[in-house]
Structure 1
Amino acid sequence: MTTTMTKTKAAARTDWERMAHEVGPELAARAAQADADDAFVAENLALLKDRGFHAAGVPAELGGGGASHAELAAMLRTLARYCGSTALALSMHTHQVALPAWRWRRTPEAVEGLLARIVGQKLTLVSSGGSDWLDGSCRAEPAEGGFRVYGRKVFASGCPAGDLLMTMAVLDAPEGPTVLHMALPLRGEGVRILDTWQTLGMRGTGSHDIELSGVFVPESAVTVRRPAGRWHPVMHMVTLIAFPLIYAVYVGLAEAARDKALDLAAARKPSSDLELILGEMETELAAARLALADMLACAASEEPGPAASSRIMTGRTLAGRAAIRAVEKAMEAAGGAGFYRRTGLERIFRDVQAARYHPLQEKAQARLAARLALGLDIDG
């Protein structure tokens, strides 16, 4: 009986990568128009929510999809092959789900309520990490029963369809600037989404600015307090869990570019130069895949901390750099045909450039690696 039950459970497990391939063509059909119009990929994300992708990372015990960290990365990587903006916007929600899911396996009481709401209320979480990181941003002022938050967040991917902004604000405390971690209702009083997202690439992500004008945050909604500008255990946890998921998107983009380049190259006159370019593309793509694989291996085997953060951030630099170079080689292999919008290759070329801008950017990542190698304080 035990064997039968185990097999039944295994058979019922969702194959999220396969599901991504199933919905992918429908996502791809809307990608070019969204890019041309600077339009948020709302329909694509609504479709994915209807299919349960928004709760893929919630443990099955809580009614979610029960996907592992590696399975979430494979899901996002596959979606990116069809629409980079859709995949990146979903990755920003997905990593915010994966973080409490990771904690739930250790301290379930602290996060079970949020995970249950993601399933029951179909919540979409929006990250402000791109405008915060170690320093935090926006101002928190003490108020009766909590705080008032003032300021502006940038790069809030998916915010037009978001429910909760997972964010930070800085309190001028007696012990020094203190970053408060909190969740804000995106449709609450004092929250305004500004139409600012007109960009080179990833145009469909809806990564607009969010203006916060005295938004009230109760004391009970503050989940973490930490010194501004310094590494903290929670930031090591974010690094370990979030960045392999985000950079899976860029590897998926490079894989899509490779496929398009091979199709376009097949129509060109064979030459040793073309073969060399294609070989260079394959080499760069292999480097991106290897870097992502190491990030995922680190997340699977290590606990949050300086060594793991440096390893993940090194992988972030290597995966992003190699993905960009692989797409550049794909453009070169395609020749003039790749310059036309109708091929979709130039859109991938623009989208993949966003890999440069997530923290830690290359110079900061290299400094972290150097200080760790030298045995110095990483906050120095």
Structure 2
Amino acid sequence: MNKFIDRAKTAANLNETAKTLAKTFAARAVDHDDNDRFIYANYADLKSAGLISAGVPVELGGGGADVRALCDMLRIIAGACGSTGLALSMHTHQVAIPAWRWHHQEPSRPMVEPLLRRVVDEKIVLLSSGGSDWIGGSGTAEKVDGGYRITARKVFSSGAPAGDLLMTGAISAEHGKKTVLHFSVPLSAPEVTVLDTWRTMGMRGTGSHDITIDGLFVADDKIPLKRAAGEWHPAFQMIATIAFPLIYSVYLGIAESAREIAIDIAAKKPICSRTQSIAGRMDTALAAARMAQTFMIEAVERNEPSAETINDVMIGRRLVEENAIRTVELAMELAGGASFYRKTELERRFRDIQAARYHPLQKEVQAEYAGAMALRQPIDQIF
């Protein structure tokens, strides 16, 4: 019972902190969006408020928030500023994964604990190289004495201007077989450059620039994982199971905020049956997105990453994507012509929500994976 009470209290406190910050982030969001300006000030606030270390176990000095509480935090923040929510989700899942290992894989504690302690003590920001380092991997790792020489270009590295460590990988072709090596890269290394490439339709404040790695040496003992390129590995089953509910909480938050804006605008006009129908369809789509998000979180909470949890999470991811996008589309329709003006802030949410389409597993691959699972066919190379 005490554990339950502590968890509930942690979630409630994190929720209130996120709501307080969201007011500030909402006031800054227009400027970040209009000027392609990275959310530097928001990162400073996230650090001061303890949200950077919210997912680190209490025993290591962190906030001790579980995935469900972290999802709620990201949903609230994204409702105010989608860019801040998405960038924070990329750091948060890179914290939540080693935190899960610390809780559930005791032999892994010596490996993950130093990183988690640095997040607390130094307030370091972790970057994900996202689609660059999906199952197929990217970049090259040339074997040299004592380690590897890394050359790569990583795209969609959200939060890059504020990052300290890039959690990434590269492909080695030793022994005639492609092997993905996983390691961390300090952004301060002279071989690492953040390029100014992020000019986009939406999510303009995330700073998801390309990062180049030109000849960085990574020692053998700094490579915690090697896996076959181009196929699912148990480590990636864990990573994907935990990461995607957090990332898609952002899109749910954007959809919820679009709904609130549209309802406020519509309430100031005469109500007719057509208006009610649009509002009803909007709320139905939003309810579907919420249910799908809950389904994803429940898959994480089984604490058994597997091909089955990947299937559940990716089905949920697909349903959140489709219904969150539909919610915002209907919010635009409900608000009418007013939605076309930037000052209503609906059009920014319409642009930001489009990014939900582009994370793995995209719809055709997700459908193939789910179908293979249903028909009991191999899924190892469906990604």
Partner amino acid for 1:97? V
Which residue, 22, 42, 45 being the options, matches 1:44?
Answer: 42
Once the two structures are superposed, the pairs formed by residues 302-341 of structure 1 within 5 Å of their partners are 302-341=303-342
Once the two structures are superposed, the pairs formed by residues 141-220 of structure 1 within 5 Å of their partners are 141-174=142-175, 176-220=177-221
1:175, distance to aligned residue in structure 2 (A): 5.1
- Percent identity of equivalent pairs: 51
State how far apart, in whole Å, the 2-side matches of 1:245 and 1:113 are. Answer: 23
Which residue, 18, 21, 24 being the options, matches 2:22?
Answer: 24
State how far apart, in whole Å, the 1-side matches of 2:307 and 2:11 are. Answer: 34
Structure 1 residues 61 and 367, CA gap change in structure 2 (3 angstroms): same
State how far apart, in whole Å, the 1-side matches of 2:85 and 2:375 are. Answer: 37
Structure 1 residues 97 and 6, CA gap change in structure 2 (3 angstroms): closer
Equivalent in the alignment of 2:255: 254
1:12, distance to aligned residue in structure 2 (A): 7.6
State how far apart, in whole Å, the 2-side matches of 1:203 and 1:121 are. Answer: 27
Structure 1 residues 13 and 38, CA gap change in structure 2 (3 angstroms): closer
Equivalent in the alignment of 2:84: 86
State how far apart, in whole Å, the 2-side matches of 1:329 and 1:223 are. Answer: 46
Residue 55 of structure 2: SS of its match in structure 1?
A: coil
Structure 1 residues 284 and 10, CA gap change in structure 2 (3 angstroms): closer
State how far apart, in whole Å, the 2-side matches of 1:278 and 1:6 are. Answer: 37
Equivalent in the alignment of 1:296: 297
After TM superposition, which residue ranges in structure 1, 4 or more long, deviate above 6 angstroms? 5-14
Equivalent in the alignment of 1:279: 280
State how far apart, in whole Å, the 1-side matches of 2:272 and 2:315 are. Answer: 36
Equivalent in the alignment of 1:378: 379
Residue 15 of structure 1: SS of its match in structure 2?
A: helix
Residue 156 of structure 2: SS of its match in structure 1?
A: coil
1:13, distance to aligned residue in structure 2 (A): 7.5
Equivalent in the alignment of 2:33: 35
- Check whether the contact 2:50–2:63 (CA below 8 A) recurs between aligned residues: yes
Partner amino acid for 2:53? A
Structure 1 residues 94 and 6, CA gap change in structure 2 (3 angstroms): closer
Structure 1 residues 52 and 271, CA gap change in structure 2 (3 angstroms): same
Partner amino acid for 1:358? H
TM-score, reference length from structure 2: 0.96
State how far apart, in whole Å, the 2-side matches of 1:9 and 1:241 are. Answer: 18
Structure 1 residues 82 and 305, CA gap change in structure 2 (3 angstroms): same
State how far apart, in whole Å, the 2-side matches of 1:122 and 1:70 are. Answer: 22
Residue 183 of structure 2: SS of its match in structure 1?
A: strand
Residue 165 of structure 1: SS of its match in structure 2?
A: strand
State how far apart, in whole Å, the 2-side matches of 1:12 and 1:126 are. Answer: 25
Aligned length: 378
Equivalent in the alignment of 1:123: 124
> C-alpha deviations, 1:160-212, integer Å up to 9, x for none?
00000000100012151000111000110210111110001000000000011
Equivalent in the alignment of 2:266: 265
Residue 248 of structure 2: SS of its match in structure 1?
A: helix
State how far apart, in whole Å, the 2-side matches of 1:100 and 1:175 are. Answer: 31
Residue 309 of structure 2: SS of its match in structure 1?
A: helix
Partner amino acid for 1:47? D
- Check whether the contact 2:10–2:64 (CA below 8 A) recurs between aligned residues: no
- Check whether the contact 2:10–2:65 (CA below 8 A) recurs between aligned residues: no
Equivalent in the alignment of 1:55: 53
Equivalent in the alignment of 2:363: 362
Equivalent in the alignment of 1:235: 236
Greater Cα shift, 87-96 or 9-18: 9-18
1:317, distance to aligned residue in structure 2 (A): 0.4
Equivalent in the alignment of 2:74: 76
Structure 1 residues 153 and 7, CA gap change in structure 2 (3 angstroms): closer
State how far apart, in whole Å, the 2-side matches of 1:8 and 1:247 are. Answer: 26
> C-alpha deviations, 1:253-275, integer Å up to 9, x for none?
00000000000111222111111
- Check whether the contact 1:137–1:151 (CA below 8 A) recurs between aligned residues: yes
1:10, distance to aligned residue in structure 2 (A): 7.8
Q: Structure 2: which 5+ residue stretches go unaligned?
A: none
Q: Structure 1: which 5+ residue stretches go unaligned?
A: none
1:7, distance to aligned residue in structure 2 (A): 7.8
Equivalent in the alignment of 1:96: 94
Structure 1 residues 73 and 13, CA gap change in structure 2 (3 angstroms): closer
